[in-house]
């Protein structure tokens, strides 16, 4: 049996859950018997049947004696749904092939061990790297209770995200912008500083042609609650919230209290976070966002927010879009603002790099090395 082919099918099915399963993982499953696919399924949303159950239901009695390919270890505990391991035994599955173990330390696991003890042949680790990338946000969240953070920017070849007047429309092309909307669809939340709101007045919603995209929670860093009351993010008309983060100590000022009464409403919430100097402490904020079950955070700017995010050591991954344009001046907005290191050897290191083309633009995607992030936090 071509195990790799069927696991790739399961991974493709799992991706159908992009943007809709959080805080649960994306999981796909395929039931195969005599090289024939008898059932398929994927996890559609939190609280819905797991992928294994969907695939077994699709296969019906044909599942007896078959092999089940699943991208994540079947659960062996009662949560919102019964254990998948029991459903697998009841269906008469002969063999289970799993891409990766469940990394959740707070769950009574042992799904594969349970199946093996009950006479089911098991195999673990097929296409594990692909499975881990698919659920990288879930893996970090269940391990740390903090969101997986991607820093995104769109820049000219000389590293500017806007001209000296703040004009940034449009640095990159339409193909790049479509991909950014797919990134928003996949994220639980998108974060910008209030300066971006004042300059660009974005909606921060998801717009995908011929598809209903999921709108992320909009997290606006606004230390003194200076957001314009007519900002589009306060009247976006979607089913997700706008979360305004103000600095601790400012919430009791008369001006902030009066403005809070005017703008806070269903869909617009205000929370406080500790300050680091005169700015929101992003490291501490990650704990608060994690407590809200935000597993996947996309940071889109501006310069000061990106600079603070990198210096705080909270960024896990980057997606930098570069357009074939040159401003040829030193007065535009840089990708990051704020103090950087004194020596090149103190730079944040990026690894597992991938390049992708979107029209004439190039996206550089990669992960920040944990040791350089830790060193940056210590040197703050």
pLDDT reading at 112 higher than 70: yes
Which residue matches tokens 């100097």?
A: 277
Interval 139-167 mean pLDDT? 96
Which residue matches tokens 């995104």?
A: 152
Across the chain, mean pLDDT equals 93
User: Is 52 one of the catalytic residues?
Assistant: yes
Per-residue pLDDT band at 301 (split at 50, 70, 90): confident
pLDDT of residue 359: 96
Helix (H, G, I), strand (E, B) or coil at 277: coil
pLDDT reading at 85 higher than 60: yes
- Which residues, in sequence order, are CB contacts of 103 under 8 Å at separation 6+? 138, 139, 142, 143
Span of 42-51, 58-67, 75-84 with lowest mean pLDDT:
75-84
Interval 8-37 mean pLDDT? 96
CA of 296: how far to CAs of 148, 164, 187, 216, in Å?
Answer: 5, 32, 5, 10
Which one is catalytic: 35, 38, 52, 346? Answer: 52
pLDDT of residue 210: 77
In tens, the pLDDT along 52-72 reads 999 999 999 999 999 999 999
Q: Strand 67-70's sheet: what is its strand order?
A: 36-42, 28-33, 67-70, 95-98, 121-124
pLDDT of residue 46: 87
Per-residue pLDDT band at 213 (split at 50, 70, 90): confident
In tens, the pLDDT along 305-354 reads 999 999 999 999 999 999 999 999 999 999 999 999 999 999 999 999 99
pLDDT of residue 108: 58
pLDDT reading at 375 higher than 70: no
Q: What pTM does this model have?
A: 0.93
DSSP class of 349 = P
């Amino acid at each position: 049996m071509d195990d790799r082919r069927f696991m790739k099918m399961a991974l493709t099915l799992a991706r159908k859950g992009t943007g809709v399963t959080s805080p649960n993982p994306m999981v796909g499953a395929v039931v195969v018997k005599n090289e024939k696919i008898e059932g398929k399924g994927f996890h559609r949303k939190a609280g819905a049947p797991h992928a294994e159950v969907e695939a077994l239901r699709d296969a019906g009695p044909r599942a007896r004696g078959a092999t089940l390919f699943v991208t994540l270890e079947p659960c062996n505990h009662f949560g919102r749904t019964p254990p998948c391991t029991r459903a697998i035994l009841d269906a008469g599955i002969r063999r289970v092939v799993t891409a990766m173990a469940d990394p959740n330390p707070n769950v009574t696991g042992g799904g594969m061990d349970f199946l093996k003890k009950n006479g089911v042949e098991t195999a673990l680790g097929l296409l594990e790297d692909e499975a881990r990338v698919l659920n990288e946000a879930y893996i970090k969240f269940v391990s740390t209770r903090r969101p997986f953070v991607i820093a995104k920017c769109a820049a000219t070849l000389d590293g500017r995200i806007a001209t000296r007047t703040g004009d940034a429309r449009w640095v990159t092309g339409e193909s790049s912008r479509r991909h950014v909307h797919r990134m928003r669809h996949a994220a639980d939340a998108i974060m910008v500083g209030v300066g971006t709101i004042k300059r660009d007045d974005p909606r921060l919603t998801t717009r995908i042609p011929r598809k209903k995209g999921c709108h992320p929670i909009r997290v606006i860093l606004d230390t003194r609650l200076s957001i314009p009351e007519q900002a589009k993010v306060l009247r976006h008309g979607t089913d997700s919230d706008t979360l305004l983060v103000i600095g601790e100590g400012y919430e009791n000022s008369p001006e902030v209290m009066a403005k809070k009464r005017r703008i806070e409403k269903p869909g617009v919430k205000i929370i406080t976070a500790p300050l680091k100097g005169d700015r929101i402490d992003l490291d501490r904020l990650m704990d608060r966002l994690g407590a809200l079950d935000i597993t996947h955070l996309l940071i889109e700017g501006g310069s000061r927010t990106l600079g603070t995010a990198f210096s705080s050591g909270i960024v896990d991954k980057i997606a930098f879009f570069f357009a074939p344009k040159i401003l040829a001046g030193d007065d535009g907005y840089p990708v990051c603002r704020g103090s950087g290191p004194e020596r090149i050897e103190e730079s944040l290191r990026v690894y597992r790099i991938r390049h992708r083309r979107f029209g004439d633009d190039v996206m550089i995607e990669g992960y920040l090395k944990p040791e350089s992030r830790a060193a940056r936090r210590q040197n703050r």
